[in-house]
Amino acid sequence: MPKTTRRQFTDAFKSEAVRLTRESGRPVAQVARELGISDNVLYRWRSEQQQVDSQGRTRQAVRAEQDELTRLKRENETLRKERDFLKRAAAFFARESQ
C-alpha cells in the first residue's frame, strides 16, 4: 500500500473556506469539491469556527482541548481494562489460596 501523507491547511485557509460556505449561499459539499477537500472536513471546520466564535477562543485552543479530551478518553479506557484485569487476577489468586 502506498503511504499517503496528511495534508495540512493553514488557519487562514480554514477560515476562508468557512466564510465561503456562509456567504456564498452554495451547499457545503459544492464548496468542498471546489476547494478539493472532503465535505466532512469542511463541516468539522465550520463546527470549530462556531465554537471559536461563541467562546472567544482561538482555533488552536479549541483543537488542543479536543485532542486532550481524546487522549484522556483513551487513557481512561486503558486504565479501566487494567483495573478489570487486576480484579480478576486478585479473585483468581484468592480462590487458589483457599
Q: Does some domain include residue 5?
A: no
Structural domain harbouring 39: 10-56
DSSP assignments along 8-51, one per residue:
---HHHHHHHHHHHHHH---HHHHHHHHTS-HHHHHHHHHHHHH
The total of structural domains in the chain comes to 2
Position 78 confidence tier, pLDDT thresholds 50, 70, 90? very high
Q: Does some domain include residue 15?
A: yes
Q: Is the pLDDT of residue 89 over 90?
A: yes
Q: Does some domain include residue 29?
A: yes
What is the model's pLDDT at position 61? 83
- pLDDT 10s digits, 49-71: 888 888 887 878 878 888 999 99
Q: Is the pLDDT of residue 48 over 80?
A: yes
User: Within this chain, do residues 50 and 74 fall inside the same structural domain, yes or no?
Assistant: no
Q: Does some domain include residue 3?
A: no
| Residue 5, SS3 per DSSP | coil
